[in-house]
Structure 1
Amino acid sequence: MGTSWSEEQKGSSERQDQPVYHSESDTISSQKSDINTPVPITRNNNNNSHHLNEPKESKRVLLKLPHNCEAIINDNSDSPIDKSSPEKVYEQLHAGVYLNGRRKKYWVDKKGNNCFMVFANDLKITWAENPTYWYLHTAQTSDHGQISVAQLRNVAWLEVHGRFHTKNLSPGVTYQVAFSIMLEYTCYGWELPVNFRLTLPNGSKQEHKENFKEKPKGEWLRIPVGEFKASPENVGEIEFSLYEYQGGSWKKGLVIKSAIIEPKF
């Protein structure tokens, strides 16, 4: 039998989905800028009804790049970032950047906060190395392109774990961790509820159960695991888990796409 964190894992199954992230509404200066340099934004305040002989006032505001953005991209990005203009940098950050061989995705929301996806091939799945139990493969999706998804064929011991370091999360922001999953129409064996657990760097845990038997079938679902506030006092790895192995019943028809770590609004 495989293990949780000590198990081997592969990547796999199919599907799509994810929110659309919009660009900033401010007009960004087209000056060339290094990615770690604050980006200047120019706003003009025009008042044509008074003081017509006075020059137009121009206010320059510095727009800083997101927290730890340079390190995230330089150390992990799958492809080079176009730094020819601030517009290009922000366009790519809002669209999302793939990391670590498409095992993760990084993007910035409209408030400038860092967001991440951990795809199935970067999760630790018990028995994932055995194709009798899990079907791990690359699937084409509309929002993410080619990604790895994991399709459960048949197991009695369901156990999935993921880890992520909080150093790349925006400080002071409350984050929610959730699994993106689908239950196929042919699924069975979900009489007992599935356990979800979030373990924070300080060792505290958040746990609850979800009844998969009552969930909609054939569509992507976001199942919350827990939430926490990113802070310097609680820096380290979080662990998010999905498991059910007490009942001993065989289960089929679960598709796992990713774990999502993004601000809770």
Structure 2
Amino acid sequence: MGTSWSNEEEKGSSSQQQQAHHQPVYHSDSEALVARTSQNPGLHTPLISKNNSHHHHVNEPNNKELAKRVQLKLPHNFEAIIKDINSDSPVDRSSSEKLYEQLHVGVFLNGRMKKYWVDKKGNNCFMVFADGLKITWAENPTHWYLHTTQTSDHGNITIAQLRNVAWLEVHGRLHTTHLTPGVTYQVAFLIMLEYASYGWDVPVNFRLTLPNGNKQEHKENFNEKPKGEWLRIPAGEFKVSSPENVGEIEFSLYEYDGGSWKKGLIVKSAIIEPKY
């Protein structure tokens, strides 16, 4: 296992306005969606009494209120991201509330190798699980044990348990077009050191390589880390803004210069989310 990487000013008649209540409208930025009236009861035009029809304008929402009720701003590059959505978690577009509730919880991509969610500020976030990472020797059960486990936050996911290697190397990739522009992101690995771990006398390297080739690197001494709990180890951070940083980022943890045999590392995932 160990997979390779992989809104017009109002014009026209009232009939056109009524029609707009029943048809989805896509705006020029391709990310704004007007939900169907039939799918969201909150979008129905208020009922007007026959005896007070000349006062109907009192009951109707103004333009700003109407826009707020019917327009849904989809997350950045939403359609491209969910094209690889897992079949067991289809996106519910029946209402804006249901869609955003689902996106805040998260949906799985690429056969549950990745998870995508949207934070409270509307920013895209990702998690790449162990089987979505490229792990050297992962196909050899003598060195790595990749298996499915039940978690309280993500359900069934694949984790990688290090049995014995001298050459430790784990890489992951993600394209920056999936990330929200103008946001500073942090990339980190979620790992655990088992109580029976050994071979960590040489610090482990963590690295983030940006699309322009710039690298951020630092070392972590695993002997100083607590055992038996999930640890979040940053690899680096960057802002999705400059044109030269459009492309794939690569995030890595590795150690192969010391030559010692190592055991007891569990790799859960790499996480890419805004730096809070």
Relative to the length of structure 1, the TM-score reads: 0.80
**AA at the equivalent of 2:33:** P
| 1:95 pairs with 2:105 | yes
After superposition, the Cα gap between the structure-2 partners of 1:87 and 1:188, relative to the gap in structure 1 and judged at 3 Å, is same
8 Å contact from structure 1 (residues 133, 154) kept in 2: yes
Q: Which residue of 253, 256, 267 maps to 1:242?
A: 253
Q: Which runs of 5+ in 2 are unaligned?
A: 5-21, 36-41, 44-56
8 Å contact from structure 1 (residues 127, 133) kept in 2: yes
Q: Which residue of 2 aligns with 1:136?
A: 146
Could you say which structure has the greater relative contact order, defined with CA pairs below 8 angstroms and 6 or more residues apart? 1
8 Å contact from structure 1 (residues 165, 238) kept in 2: yes
TM-fit CA distance, 1:145: 0.8
After superposition, the Cα gap between the structure-2 partners of 1:115 and 1:32, relative to the gap in structure 1 and judged at 3 Å, is farther
Query: What secondary structure sits across from 2:270 in the alignment?
Result: strand
Q: Which residue of 2 aligns with 1:260?
A: 271
**AA at the equivalent of 1:157:** W
Q: Which residue of 38, 42, 49 maps to 2:33?
A: 38
| 1:214 pairs with 2:224 | yes
Q: Which residue of 1 aligns with 2:173?
A: 163
> After the TM superposition, which segments of 4 or more aligned residues of structure 1 sit over 2 Å from their partners?
8-11, 31-42, 54-63
Q: Which residue of 1 aligns with 2:46?
A: none
8 Å contact from structure 1 (residues 197, 208) kept in 2: yes
1:140-188 CA-to-partner distances (Å, cap 9, x unmatched) read 1111111110000011111111111111100010000000000011111
| 1:76 pairs with 2:69 | no
Q: Which entry has the higher C-alpha Rg, 1 or 2?
A: 2
8 Å contact from structure 1 (residues 171, 232) kept in 2: no
| 1:182 pairs with 2:192 | yes
- 2:154 and 2:23 map into 1 onto residues whose CA distance is 29
TM-fit CA distance, 1:231: 2.0
Query: What secondary structure sits across from 2:140 in the alignment?
Result: coil
8 Å contact from structure 2 (residues 72, 96) kept in 1: no
Query: What secondary structure sits across from 2:94 in the alignment?
Result: coil
Root-mean-square deviation (CA, aligned residues, Å) is 2.3
After superposition, the Cα gap between the structure-2 partners of 1:34 and 1:252, relative to the gap in structure 1 and judged at 3 Å, is farther
- 1:197 and 1:147 map into 2 onto residues whose CA distance is 24
- 1:84 and 1:96 map into 2 onto residues whose CA distance is 17
Query: What secondary structure sits across from 2:92 in the alignment?
Result: coil
TM-fit CA distance, 1:10: 6.0
**AA at the equivalent of 1:124:** K
Correspondence 1:110-121 to 2 at 5 A:
110-121=120-131
Q: Give the stretch that moved more between structures: 179-188 or 228-237.
A: 228-237
8 Å contact from structure 2 (residues 32, 72) kept in 1: no
- 2:145 and 2:111 map into 1 onto residues whose CA distance is 20
8 Å contact from structure 1 (residues 33, 86) kept in 2: no
**AA at the equivalent of 1:88:** K
Relative to the length of structure 2, the TM-score reads: 0.77
After superposition, the Cα gap between the structure-2 partners of 1:183 and 1:39, relative to the gap in structure 1 and judged at 3 Å, is farther
8 Å contact from structure 1 (residues 10, 129) kept in 2: no
Query: What secondary structure sits across from 2:254 in the alignment?
Result: strand
1:51-90 CA-to-partner distances (Å, cap 9, x unmatched) read xxx94775343441110112211x1111321111111111
- 1:153 and 1:260 map into 2 onto residues whose CA distance is 23
Query: What secondary structure sits across from 1:161 in the alignment?
Result: strand
Query: What secondary structure sits across from 1:71 in the alignment?
Result: helix
- 1:171 and 1:129 map into 2 onto residues whose CA distance is 37
- Structure (1/2) with the larger helix percentage: 2
- Structure (1/2) with the larger strand percentage: 1
Identity %: 73
